Amino acid sequence: MAKRKSIRSDIGWSTATTITVKGFDLCKDILGKLSLGDMAFLELTDRLPNAQESPVFNAIAVTLVEHGITPSSIAARMTYAGAPEAMQAAVGAGLAGLGSVFVGSMETAARMLQEAIPDPKAAVNIDGMAQKIVEQWLSAKKIIPGIGHPYHKPVDPRAPRLFEIAAQNGFNGPYIQLMQAIAREAEKRSGKQLPVNATGAIGAISSELALEWRFVRGIGVFARAIGLVGHLREEAKNPIAWEAKMRIDEEATAHQRGK
């Protein structure tokens, strides 16, 4: 095969007696020492989290594991109902819908913050920046990511709890401050209560952890994979997919059958 460019990966490799992941010996340096969440941090950053980063990162990942009955968990359950021999494909189907509508908003929040503050060590006028950002989003008639919630009112309880965990570990930098300032500014301009929601908190805290906004969605993707396995386990014990299908079908086509 003609080579145009080299093919290179630095994630993992093996010899007959060793396995290396991101430069660490799996058996000596990782197993028994790293928790699953810390391993995920390593995958997203190429380094181990320190004692402050670990609980904060785990908290945002844990927040994203389980959202109950969602379009994603219904898709996984429906898929499992047809192919119980391929649980992995049911999880895959459930993940496929974690796009722009739900999980995408935390990527958008992280992007908004990281593009506004490329260098978190530089001095910034947080309130002035928030005014400018809110103005930009409103004049573009786009919904500002990370604030307000259609259901959790007046406050999405996850956001203050996540900010609390972050602060307890020393994270209260410019991204968190900017996210909160954006919420205040949006509330002032709209006259509505629009506190930072879980999405905004995760976008801001991810940015404090120096996670690239392009892969913040990835936290939601792998966290939800955990939750989807839980849903398939429940579906296997107490199935709901077929009954839900029957009811949807019946109502959706009743007008035709009634003819």
Residues 188-217 that bind its own copies (CB under 8 A): 212, 214-215, 217
Cis peptide bond prior to 154, omega within 30° of 0: yes
Q: Considering only 129-137, 181-189, 202-210, 251-259, which stretch makes contact with its own copies by CB under 8 A?
A: 251-259
Q: Does position 63 bind its own copies by CB under 8 A?
A: yes
3-state DSSP of the chain: CCCCCCCCCCCEEECCCCEEECCEEHHHHHCCCCCHHHHHHHHHHCCCCCCCHHHHHHHHHHHCCCCCCCHHHHHHHHHHHHCHHHHHHHHHHHHCCCCCCCCHHHHHHHHHHHHHCCCCCCCCCHHHHHHHHHHHHHHCCCCCCCECCCCCCCCCCHHHHHHHHHHHCCCCCHHHHHHHHHHHHHHHHHCCCCCECHHHHHHHHHHHCCCCHHHHHHHHHHHHHHHHHHHHHHHHHCCCHHHHHHHHHHHHHHHHHCC
* Least spacing, CB of residue 58 vs its own copies, in Å: 5
Straight-line distance from the first to the last Cα atom of the chain, in angstroms, rounded to the nearest whole number: 63
Per CB under 8 A, the list member of 48, 124, 138, 225 interacting with its own copies is: 225
Q: Considering only 67-75, 130-138, 173-181, 186-194, which stretch makes contact with its own copies by CB under 8 A?
A: 67-75
Residue in the structure block whose two tokens are 């939750």: 227
CB-wise, 156 or 185, nearer to its own copies? 156
Site string for its own copies, 22-61 (x = CB under 8 A): x---xx--xxx-xxxx-xx--xx----------x--xx-x
Per CB under 8 A, the list member of 47, 136, 157, 193 interacting with its own copies is: 157
Q: Considering only 74-82, 111-119, 123-131, 178-186, which stretch makes contact with its own copies by CB under 8 A?
A: 74-82
Q: Does position 6 bind its own copies by CB under 8 A?
A: yes
Site for its own copies in 159-188 (CB under 8 A): 161-162, 164-165, 168
Q: Does position 124 bind its own copies by CB under 8 A?
A: no
Interface size with its own copies, residues (CB under 8 A): 128
Per CB under 8 A, the list member of 121, 123, 191, 251 interacting with its own copies is: 251
Per CB under 8 A, the list member of 48, 49, 50, 93 interacting with its own copies is: 93
CB-wise, 189 or 245, nearer to its own copies? 245
Contact 74, 98 (CB under 8 A): no
Both structure tokens of 109: 């929040």
Per CB under 8 A, the list member of 120, 124, 172, 222 interacting with its own copies is: 222
CB-wise, 184 or 245, nearer to its own copies? 245
CB-wise, 58 or 126, nearer to its own copies? 58
